[in-house]
Structure 1
Amino acid sequence: MRFLGFFLLLLVGCAPQVGFGDKERREWGLQPVISDFAPDRGEGAKYRLRERVFFSFTLSQPGYVTLVTMDPDGTTVVLERNVQLPAGKHTFPLAADRNAQGQAAYLVVPPLGPSRFRLLYTSTPAPSRELFRGKLSNEEFNRHTRAYLGEAPVRDVAETWMEAVP
């Protein structure tokens, strides 16, 4: 039984540390605009390579959102940038995003393991800056996030994760 408890603690320690608690919200000057941000199968869900994934979220007021991913190796990619949306429930990619096959979707690609997804909200358009490029440490990811949020009068951040499996 003692071994099982240790094993569970070890597993919890391996999961990405996501989310913004009260402390981070105060430090970063965030306001609770984003809620229910998660992949379509739920936070921490497993997706096989080449499977489609969608992200849903709710905004309590209109504004601009950016979706960024960070792979297990630290590689960051901006999936959506400065998308203007009204208040309400949304899904990325948007239903209006189409390709030759129909509804656009994000496909799960290597590397395997847990990937973080960060949704950034600003009440005004964020300036176009060359941020979130290349491999970043957690501290650099946070620094880029803060720079991106800039001086927007209202800003928020939500984070979730999913895992790519073979």
Structure 2
Amino acid sequence: MSDAQRAEWGLQPVISGFAPDRGTGGKYKLRERVFFGFTLSRPGYVTLITVDPDTTTVVLERNVRLEAGTHTFPLKTDVTAQGQATYLVLPPTGTSRFRLLFTNVPVSAPNLFRGKLSPEELDRQTQAYLSQAAVRDVAETTLEAVQ
């Protein structure tokens, strides 16, 4: 995200170090687990979305309240019947984008970030989401799904 876009969107530097466990652009085989690390400089709410190579957009986490500090998604407290919750790399192969959104208040936007979204539509929906908060930030990273 460019400095001009950050200024236009009124973003504050809250999120740092957002990346998958193998680093930005890391390669993962299909069905491998992936974790995302990041640091928040203040407490607030985070939403994590993914955009697959075919532009399918999915919300992985929504309005998760976190304190300032270093975190990993999925959270250790996110458990299923099988144990620790995981994110699995799924088809299609190629580069997937991940966008982490920070707001100082929980945001109600159940109809955003669904389906196939162009980059322009993703940005429009991100701005609509962020407009509900006085303090907001966005961080992006990628990973590559391979066979």
Normalised TM-score (structure 2) = 0.98
Match for 1:72 among 37, 53, 58? 53
Following the alignment from structure 2 to structure 1, what is the Cα–Cα distance between the partners of residues 123 and 48?
A: 14
> Considering only CA atoms, is the larger Rg found in Structure 1 or Structure 2?
1
Stretches (4+) displaced over 2 A: none
2:142 corresponds in structure 1 to 161
Is 1:134 aligned with 2:115? yes
1:11 corresponds in structure 2 to none
Cα deviation, residue 99, structure 1: 1.3
Q: Is the 8 A contact 1:58 1:90 kept in 2?
A: yes
Identity over aligned pairs, percent: 70
1:70-107 Cα distance to aligned partner (Å, 9 max, x none): 00111000000000000000000000001122111100
Following the alignment from structure 2 to structure 1, what is the Cα–Cα distance between the partners of residues 16 and 90?
A: 26
Following the alignment from structure 2 to structure 1, what is the Cα–Cα distance between the partners of residues 36 and 71?
A: 8
Match for 1:108 among 83, 89, 97? 89
Is 1:118 aligned with 2:91? no
Matching residue's letter, 2:124:
R
Q: Is the 8 A contact 1:64 1:85 kept in 2?
A: yes
Q: How does 1:1-166 map to 2 (within 5 A)?
A: 20-166=1-147
Indicate the structure with greater strand content: 2
Q: Which runs of 5+ in 1 are unaligned?
A: 1-19
RMSD (Å), alpha carbons: 0.8
Indicate the structure with greater helix content: 1
Paired residues, what number?
147
Normalised TM-score (structure 1) = 0.87
Q: Is the 8 A contact 1:124 1:152 kept in 2?
A: yes
Cα deviation, residue 25, structure 1: 1.0
